[in-house]
């Protein structure tokens, strides 16, 4: 007993640990950052996530915190297998993101990063829909400052569009929660879809919640806020943004909509369509945002299948993706820091002066491509195997195509055009030590999970026995990688591969950023022309009508004159006779 004279001491400490929700330490730490000395501020991005992770490890699995507010029972904290796997990787990513950003002296960016991460962590441990909504909106309001941290006109506009979409997702979520509560009387954040897994039989509230989750998960046609906002942030800010928002949405889908059949179709489309945009994109950080779309699709497919193995696969792939996708964004952030650009047309030859960054980038590229003995190889097959076992043949073939495609645009294109390809002539310093430290840790995580997958399998929501290193898995994956590499070489040698050029690629956001304003502008101008054309005739008609009324009812008008008693009696008789005649004719 560490408190022999005060036995209540351990009890008090235990109550304090249970009182704070996971992520609260980061939120409070973020608010304290402006009060810290300048040299200490960057270290707050490491210290508070470490303290928060220690706090999470002190909570027991199965712990539930309940709270009664205005007569309604809420569950601010629920610790179970699904929330823990996301909580663990969120804290790991937060710590490494803090190390990566030790060179940041911008207090606003540090505050935004810590409060954003804390809000996302709080969201994955929320046990009721109201608590989830609060954290959902906090992630939107805090993360937008990371976009604005770019401090350019483009980042300001992109940040405003990002904020509108993210807050709009929260408004839809709140509306769905209200309708759901009216229908069921429950605020519990558990499985929201019926046993049949069909959205057609779901209530309006559940449908709205599903749409809100889909916006944050970047469903097809709702995805462009990723490509619009993330590349406009700073080198460090983009790393944070790439990790938390979409993975929080993946967690929410896994919690609320496991086994929802339409997610299989949505996820398959998500894996396929970004490949074509990524191939022609020049901005390498924007290529990675399309890659993020592609990777989210695999997780969504796993959630849609809904078996325990598939849900384990979605959680495992989210865990691995945070590490290797974060590593790729870190590598491109280091390139941006040293060269001032991430455009493929302006890079190349950087391996000569940034060899360690190039090597670590290749580790991340190989991991996302699912090379054996790296993290992608031991996580993606969980989803692929369950897709095949469920007899989703078309979806399975789409996932194989997407697996080859991701090697094409992220496994090859990113390191090739950044560090090799043509020599840009740029001779810059290697990445700073703190960036290198974070990237080395990320790369080590990719290798550790690939070599020793049990370390990840043990923390997944459902117990399982799975052996990724089978002959079938290895041969299939090497075939995909080989043919994808051959296709890249063939296209490069024949000149068919789209060149890296300064350009603007049109995606669905063109409809509301260009087409819709154009249509509205045309409608307004056409309406103005029509109004000008009819204004004169209408004004003339109104003038004539008012003149007639004035002549009849004006001071000298017919109806303004005084009538004699005889005239009034005469017209009364005429009206009475007319009425009698009409009555008799009926």
pLDDT single digits (tens) 268-289:
999 999 998 888 888 999 999 9
Q: What is the mean pLDDT of residues 338-355?
A: 92
CA distance 541 to 409: 67
Q: What is the pLDDT of residues 546-558, one digit of tens each?
A: 877 777 777 766 6
Paired tokens of 390 = 């469920």
> Phi first, then psi: what are they for 93, rounded to 5°?
-65, -35
Paired tokens of 558 = 């017919």
In 10-141, at which residue ranges do the beta strands (DSSP E only) sit? 64-69, 72-78
Range with the poorest average pLDDT among 12-21, 80-89, 164-173, 301-310: 12-21
Q: What is the mean pLDDT of residues 75-96?
A: 96
The whole-number pLDDT of residue 1 equals 43
Q: Is the pLDDT of residue 2 over 50?
A: no
**Average per-residue pLDDT in the chain?**
90
Q: For residue 72, give the DSSP letter.
A: E
The whole-number pLDDT of residue 400 equals 92
> Phi first, then psi: what are they for 71, rounded to 5°?
85, 0
Q: Which of 204, 316, 196 is nearest to 254 (CA)?
A: 316
Share of the chain above pLDDT 90, in %: 67
Q: For residue 218, give the DSSP letter.
A: T
> Phi first, then psi: what are they for 208, rounded to 5°?
-65, -40
CA distance 274 to 287: 9
Paired tokens of 328 = 């790729």
CA distance 319 to 585: 90
CB 321 within 8 A of CB 223: no
CA distances from 294 to 235, 300, 317, 393, 498 (A): 22, 10, 12, 19, 20
CA distance 263 to 85: 21
pTM of the model: 0.87
CB 313 within 8 A of CB 375: no
The whole-number pLDDT of residue 226 equals 92
CA distances from 350 to 159, 359, 439, 555 (A): 31, 11, 17, 93
- With bands split at pLDDT 50, 70 and 90, how would you rate the model's confidence at 3? very low
CA distance 228 to 223: 9
- With bands split at pLDDT 50, 70 and 90, how would you rate the model's confidence at 539? confident
Q: Which of 48, 17, 212 is nearest to 117 (CA)?
A: 48
According to DSSP H, which parts of 151-283 are helical? 153-184, 204-216, 224-229, 235-256, 262-280
Query: What is the end-to-end Cα distance of the chain in Å, rounded?
Result: 107
The whole-number pLDDT of residue 59 equals 92
CA distance 155 to 161: 10
The DSSP bridge partners found for residue 517 are none
The whole-number pLDDT of residue 131 equals 96
Q: For residue 324, give the DSSP letter.
A: H
Q: What is the mean pLDDT of residues 109-130?
A: 96
The whole-number pLDDT of residue 512 equals 74
CA distance 13 to 35: 26
CB 162 within 8 A of CB 144: yes
Query: SS3 for 432?
Result: coil
- With bands split at pLDDT 50, 70 and 90, how would you rate the model's confidence at 211? very high
> Who wins on pLDDT, 511 or 211?
211
């Amino acid at each position: 007993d560490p408190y022999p004279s005060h036995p209540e001491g351990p009890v008090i400490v235990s109550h304090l640990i249970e009182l704070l929700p996971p992520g609260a330490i980061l939120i409070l730490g973020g608010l304290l950052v402006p009060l810290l000395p300048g040299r200490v501020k960057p270290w707050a991005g490491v210290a508070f996530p470490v303290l928060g992770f220690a706090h999470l490890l002190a909570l027991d699995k199965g712990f539930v915190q309940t709270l009664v507010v205005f007569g309604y029972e809420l569950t601010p904290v629920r610790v179970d297998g699904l929330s823990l796997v996301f909580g663990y990787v969120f804290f790991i990513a937060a710590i490494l993101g803090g190390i990566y950003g030790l060179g940041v002296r911008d207090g606003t960016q540090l505050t935004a990063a810590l409060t954003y991460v804390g809000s996302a962590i709080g969201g994955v441990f929320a046990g009721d829909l109201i608590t989830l909504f609060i954290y959902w909106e906090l992630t939107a309001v805090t993360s937008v400052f990371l976009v604005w941290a770019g401090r350019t006109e483009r980042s300001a506009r992109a940040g405003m569009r990002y904020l509108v979409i993210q807050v709009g997702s929260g408004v839809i979520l709140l509306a769905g929660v209200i309708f759901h509560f009216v229908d069921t009387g429950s605020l519990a954040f558990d499985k929201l879809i019926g046993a049949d897994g069909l959205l057609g039989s779901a209530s309006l509230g559940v449908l709205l919640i599903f749409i809100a989750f889909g916006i944050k998960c970047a469903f097809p046609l709702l995805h462009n806020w990723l490509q619009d906002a993330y590349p406009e942030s700073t080198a460090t800010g983009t790393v944070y943004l790439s990790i938390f928002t979409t993975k929080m949405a993946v967690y929410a889908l896994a919690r609320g909509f496991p086994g929802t059949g339409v997610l299989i179709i949505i996820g398959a489309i998500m894996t396929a369509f970004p490949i074509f945009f990524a191939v022609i994109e020049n901005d390498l950080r924007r290529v990675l945002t399309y890659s993020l779309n592609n990777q989210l699709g695999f997780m969504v497919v796993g959630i849609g299948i809904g078996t325990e193995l598939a849900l384990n696969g979605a959680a495992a792939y989210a865990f691995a993706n945070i590490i290797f996708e974060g590593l790729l964004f870190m590598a491109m952030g280091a390139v941006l820091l040293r060269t001032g650009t991430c455009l493929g047309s302006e890079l190349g030859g950087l391996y000569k002066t940034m060899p360690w960054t190039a090597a670590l980038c290749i580790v991340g590229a190989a991991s996302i491509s699912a090379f054996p003995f790296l993290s992608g190889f031991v996580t993606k097959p969980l989803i692929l195997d369950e897709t095949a076992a469920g007899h989703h043949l078309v979806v399975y073939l789409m996932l194989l195509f997407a697996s080859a495609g991701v090697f094409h645009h992220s496994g090859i294109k990113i390191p090739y055009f950044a560090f090799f390809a043509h020599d840009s002539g740029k001779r810059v310093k290697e990445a700073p030590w703190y960036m290198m430290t974070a990237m080395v840790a990320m790369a080590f995580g990719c290798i550790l999970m690939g070599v020793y997958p049990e370390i990840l399998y043990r923390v997944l929501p459902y117990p399982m026995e799975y052996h990724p290193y089978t002959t079938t898995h290895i041969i299939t994956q090497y075939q995909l990688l080989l043919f994808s590499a051959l296709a890249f070489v063939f296209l490069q040698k024949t000149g068919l591969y789209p060149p890296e050029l300064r350009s603007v690629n049109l995606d669905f956001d063109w409809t509301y950023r260009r087409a819709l304003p154009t249509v509205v502008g045309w409608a307004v101008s056409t309406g103005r022309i029509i109004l000008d054309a009819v204004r004169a005739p209408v004004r003339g008609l109104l003038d004539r009508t008012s003149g007639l009324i004035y002549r009849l009812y004006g001071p000298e008008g017919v109806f303004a004159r005084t009538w004699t008693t005889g005239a009034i009696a005469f017209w009364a008789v005429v009206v009475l006779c007319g009425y009698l005649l009409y009555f008799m004719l009926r």
